[in-house]
Amino acid sequence: MAGGIQQGDMARLLMQHRTTLYGYIFACVRHHADAEDILQTTTVAVMESVGQLRDEAGFLPWAREIARRRVLAHRRNHLKEQVFDPELVRALAEAAERLDEREPANPRQLALKACLDHLPPESRRLIISRYDPKLGDAELLAEKFGHTVQSVYARIKRIKAALRNCVEKRLEHEAG
């Protein structure tokens, strides 16, 4: 296949970027077995799509997009409760891409950081703990914070809504 990436090169690129892809997938699903399964389906999809990539420089963003789609499919097919919504998966992909390119954070992320800093300490600890792979499970959080599982879910929902409102207000203020 003239001008494109050869299958052997694609396998080398997959091995070279395996850790980065796995890290992104694991950040989305927070379960090693699921992350490995998704990485495998991503690898198969990448190898089957070898003709779509024209140069090695675009490999990682391209492969990460395939992984993102596999994560979303996994969420739809295997989880009863959506812990991460598609917007959050997209945001994680963008954050990973920025780290690769060493780009500065965008205004939305800066606003989110400022809003997180203004949360009451216990709310900030709860929302940060929610995305900690060691403590993200609602039962562990309930135990750590001394609440029922239902109240943890309710508090997280309220915190997310407050953060969303805060970010929007900050962005509107900066734009206006």
Q: Collapse the DSSP code of 3 into the 3-class scheme (helix H, G, I; strand E, B; otherwise coil) and give the result.
A: coil
Residue type, 77: N
Domain end residue (candidates: 101, 135, 163): 101
Convert the pLDDT of each residue in 96-115 to its tens digit. 666 655 555 578 777 888 88
Same structural domain, 36 and 96: yes
User: Which of 70, 61, 23 lies closest to 43 in space, CA to CA?
Assistant: 70
The counts of H helices and E strands in the chain are: 9, 0
Same structural domain, 97 and 115: no
Cβ atoms within 10 A of the Cβ of 138, count?
Answer: 19
CATH at 138: 1.10.10
The distance between the two most distant Cα atoms of the chain, rounded to a whole number of Å, is 62
Indicate the number of domains in the chain.
2
Give the integer Cα–Cα distance in Å for 69 and 48. 15
Residue 173: which residues within 8 A CB-CB, separation 6 or more? none
Tell if the pTM clears 0.75, that is, is over it: no
Same structural domain, 19 and 82: yes
Tokens of 119: 């949360």
Convert the pLDDT of each residue in 40-91 to its tens digit. 999 998 888 877 877 787 888 899 999 999 988 888 776 544 445 566 666 6
Convert the pLDDT of each residue in 121-176 to its tens digit. 888 888 877 776 666 577 787 888 888 888 888 898 899 899 889 989 988 888 76
User: Which of 32, 27, 59 lies closest to 43 in space, CA to CA?
Assistant: 59
Same structural domain, 120 and 171: yes
Residue type, 28: C
Q: Collapse the DSSP code of 26 into the 3-class scheme (helix H, G, I; strand E, B; otherwise coil) and give the result.
A: helix
Give the start-end residues of each E strand in the chain. Answer: none
* In a domain? residue 16: yes
Same structural domain, 85 and 112: no
Domain end residue (candidates: 101, 120, 136): 101
Same structural domain, 96 and 117: no
Cβ atoms within 10 A of the Cβ of 91, count?
Answer: 15
Q: What domain range is 131 assigned to? A: 107-175
Are 68 and 88 within 8 A, CB to CB? no
